[in-house]
Structure 1
Amino acid sequence: MKNNKKELSAYERAFEKQKEEYDLTPDELHNAWEFGFYPRSFLIYDFKKWGMEQFLTERDFQKLDFRERGLAPAIIDKRNLPLLLQKNAHYLPSLNIAIEKGRVQYIIEDGVYKEGDFDLEELLQRCLNKYAKLITKPIRLCGGEGIFIVANTLSEDTIKRIEKEDDAIINNVLVNEEYARKINPSSLNTIRVIFFKTKKGVLKPISMVHRFGSTADTCVDNTAAGGVVAGVDMETGELMPAWKLEKIRIDIEVHPKTGEKITGFMIPNWDNKKRAIDDLLQEINYLEYGGLDLAFTTEGLKIIEINRRPDLRGV
């Protein structure tokens, strides 16, 4: 019971925070609390059409015991992903620099592992000369928070910022293939794949959404940073009605900055892309459930991140 009380307390804190972030009616807030949903869920799901009983609540989700085994807990730390995928380095960005306590922990570049007493400034300058742009992702933050790009020149302030972040992963900046870059060129636009392991030991996708950044001043596509989300029809590759969250849910058909069509857009060569996703999933079949963030880039299909316990709202 003590653990359940602690989990419910976390739910209550999140509920109070979201209550201020989104505009819901008093009745909607009451129903969200009564059933155990976050206020945000009222903006994402059509409860009027389907009924609240059809959905797993956040309060109940926190009580689930996933019985994590093997390597599953290791993916909490983004720095472990390049280590786990070293034998499948073609799924990774070319450059992976792990930062621990402001110092270089290891480097994996083009699948080759290196460690040693690296000078951070010299290393980053060499990598900038080679890749032109680098992206730094703090380990302790989520939802796209704290991520920033280093481009062309390296300043003293940038070095201090990376050292201050303490723990981070640094990659070369990836570029989407044409269809996603045309819809939004300001960020890497990713697909979130929710997957689970079948009784036959095969990882199977159960849900996909495509995310797009929506502002010129951000390099991420998370909804918390103003990103646009569209469900993906997994059979056809068609993008379903798109939306973004502000104080309310805003349904959209075209990208708010570029004007490119999102709702109803057909992802090109979807059959090949779907097979590529299925092949990738079998390379991480030591997991039993998770959320895979991936991107189709000019360098091929890349894994950006694996989320250990995503909920279906975690986009």
Structure 2
Amino acid sequence: MLRNLRRKIYKKIRFKSWYRKAYYYHRKEHEMDEIIAKYKTPEEMQDKKYMRKLRRDMIRSLFKYGSYYSEYFLFGYEGKDAEYRNSFITEGIRLSYYPRMNQRKNTDLLENKYRTYKKFQDMYKREIIRVKKNEEPTEENLKKLEEFAERHKTYVVKPVYAAFGNSVRTETLSMYESVEEAHKRYRKYGAVIEELIEQGEEMARIHAGSVNTLRIPTAIIKDENGDPKIQLFHPSLRMGRGDSFVDNFSAGGVSALIDPETGVIYTDGADKKGHSFECHPDSGIRFKGFQIPQWDEAVAMVKEAAMMIPDNHYCGWDLAYSAQHGWCMVEANCTAQMGAMQMVTKEGRKAELEALIAQM
């Protein structure tokens, strides 16, 4: 009963900026110096006067602008004026935009990875099954999992609700002593189990170890006649590094921005540690000038998907390039992060987003 009450309260306040700021401050209270150390030299860390001033400014920026501590460095806040700092859509304020753009029923739909799959099944172009939380290990349920694993020896396991690439992994049924043991693991929290995407050669060139994805945000606005029109909002390519299967920017990946008209990357790459790259650190492929294959098909897919939920005015669509099927949907993000589109070029997008909202 208490858990259900907490869940109800959380759903009501999760989009409130005051909650996001206060919760982050409380959660990271004892981690501030650890975060600073990722961006500052040991010599700077030893300067007590400088560190006191820096901590105060970071906390002030959190409560005034909503910038989480890593964003303070990634957006280049140090030494910048209020106008510059206020131009960014920070993590502390980001969620407050979504109730202004999207209806709650669609948020519930798109945050559940299996419900999203059922809605856009034709665009996924691969097989996906679900093991429900606390699902009974019936003969039918065990057979479904076993037959899926026979068709797809290696598969992807995702939590039903997850973000930032958390807990996404590849598995095989042979990792478990029995299908019953695997089912027991998956039903503990619930899982979406997906056929592995075999990445097309054109996208594997940039990093073969991860399935590199497009993040294409769409905004449904009104044209001069009042009819719906879809505008892309700073699409990007996200790539993994090293032996990481996950390409997610929040999980150590690299991101670069794509020209929405041509599908050509026009920036260097950047990661969440503040590093910038002219070329991918593993493959050596140069970012600027890289042409995304079949860009028009990718854009057509996200525009079609966006119109399938027309009262959901903003969504971030993740697409992967399959060797067999071309572009296919990976997932939809109704509360998509906006950090990468600002960190790569150190440009705030708040005014642009407000202008779009005014046209919704």
TM-score of the aligned structures, taking structure 2 as reference length: 0.71
Task: Supply the distance in 2 between the matched residues of 1:271 and 1:193 (Cα, whole angstroms).
Answer: 12
Aligned position for 2:127: 95
| Deviation, structure 1 residue 9 | 1.6
Q: 1:226-279, CA deviations, whole angstroms, 9 ceiling, x for partnerless residues?
A: 21111112122222210123xx31111222222233343222343444334333
Aligned position for 1:274: 299
Aligned position for 2:171: 150
Select between 151-160 and 176-185 the one with higher mean Cα deviation. 151-160
Aligned position for 2:60: 34
Q: Aligned AA for 1:96?
A: I
Aligned position for 2:248: 222
Task: Supply the distance in 2 between the matched residues of 1:312 and 1:291 (Cα, whole angstroms).
Answer: 9
Task: Supply the distance in 1 between the matched residues of 2:93 and 2:248 (Cα, whole angstroms).
Answer: 24
Evaluate the alpha carbon distance shift between residue 76 and residue 104 of structure 1 in structure 2; reply closer, same or farther with a 3 A threshold: farther
Alignment pair present for 1:257 and 2:282? yes
Q: 1:59-99, CA deviations, whole angstroms, 9 ceiling, x for partnerless residues?
A: 333444436244332212112112222xxx32014211112
Task: Supply the distance in 2 between the matched residues of 1:100 and 1:202 (Cα, whole angstroms).
Answer: 37
Alignment pair present for 1:131 and 2:152? yes
1:56 to 81, 89, 93: 89
Q: Aligned AA for 1:101?
A: K
Task: Supply the distance in 1 between the matched residues of 2:304 and 2:334 (Cα, whole angstroms).
Answer: 19
Contact 2:149/2:172, CA 8 A, preserved across alignment: yes
Task: Describe how 1:75-224 pairs up with structure 2 within 5 A.
Answer: 75-85=110-120, 89-103=121-135, 118-120=140-142, 122-151=143-172, 153=174, 155-156=176-177, 158-164=182-188, 166-199=189-222, 200-216=227-243, 218-224=244-250
| Deviation, structure 1 residue 219 | 1.7
Q: 1:291-311, CA deviations, whole angstroms, 9 ceiling, x for partnerless residues?
A: 211222222322211122123
Task: Supply the distance in 2 between the matched residues of 1:210 and 1:4 (Cα, whole angstroms).
Answer: 28
Contact 2:149/2:173, CA 8 A, preserved across alignment: yes
Contact 1:24/1:39, CA 8 A, preserved across alignment: no
More helix by share: 2
Task: Supply the distance in 2 between the matched residues of 1:302 and 1:28 (Cα, whole angstroms).
Answer: 45
Count of matched residue positions in the alignment of Structure 1 and Structure 2:
296
| Deviation, structure 1 residue 173 | 0.5
Task: Supply the distance in 1 between the matched residues of 2:274 and 2:154 (Cα, whole angstroms).
Answer: 33
TM-score of the aligned structures, taking structure 1 as reference length: 0.80
* SS in structure 2 at match of 1:179: helix
Task: Supply the distance in 2 between the matched residues of 1:38 and 1:296 (Cα, whole angstroms).
Answer: 33
1:285 to 299, 310, 313: 310
Task: Supply the distance in 2 between the matched residues of 1:104 and 1:148 (Cα, whole angstroms).
Answer: 23
CA RMSD of aligned residues (A): 3.1
Task: Supply the distance in 2 between the matched residues of 1:16 and 1:209 (Cα, whole angstroms).
Answer: 32
Task: Supply the distance in 2 between the matched residues of 1:265 and 1:284 (Cα, whole angstroms).
Answer: 32
* SS in structure 1 at match of 2:330: strand
Alignment pair present for 1:21 and 2:40? no
Task: Supply the distance in 2 between the matched residues of 1:279 and 1:142 (Cα, whole angstroms).
Answer: 24
Aligned position for 1:45: 75
| Deviation, structure 1 residue 314 | 6.5
Q: 1:161-184, CA deviations, whole angstroms, 9 ceiling, x for partnerless residues?
A: 3233x2111110012222211211
| Deviation, structure 1 residue 39 | 2.2
Evaluate the alpha carbon distance shift between residue 97 and residue 18 of structure 1 in structure 2; reply closer, same or farther with a 3 A threshold: farther
- Structure number with higher relative contact order (C-alpha < 8 Å, ≥ 6 residues apart): 2
Contact 1:93/1:172, CA 8 A, preserved across alignment: no
Q: Aligned AA for 1:213?
A: G
Select between 18-27 and 220-229 the one with higher mean Cα deviation. 18-27
More strand by share: 1
Task: Describe how 1:55-74 pairs up with structure 2 within 5 A.
Answer: 55-64=88-97, 65-66=99-100, 68-74=103-109
- Percent identity between matched residues is 21
Contact 1:195/1:289, CA 8 A, preserved across alignment: yes
Contact 1:190/1:210, CA 8 A, preserved across alignment: yes
Evaluate the alpha carbon distance shift between residue 155 and residue 307 of structure 1 in structure 2; reply closer, same or farther with a 3 A threshold: same
Aligned position for 1:113: none
List alignment gaps of at least 5 residues for structure 1: 106-115
List alignment gaps of at least 5 residues for structure 2: 1-12, 41-50, 342-360
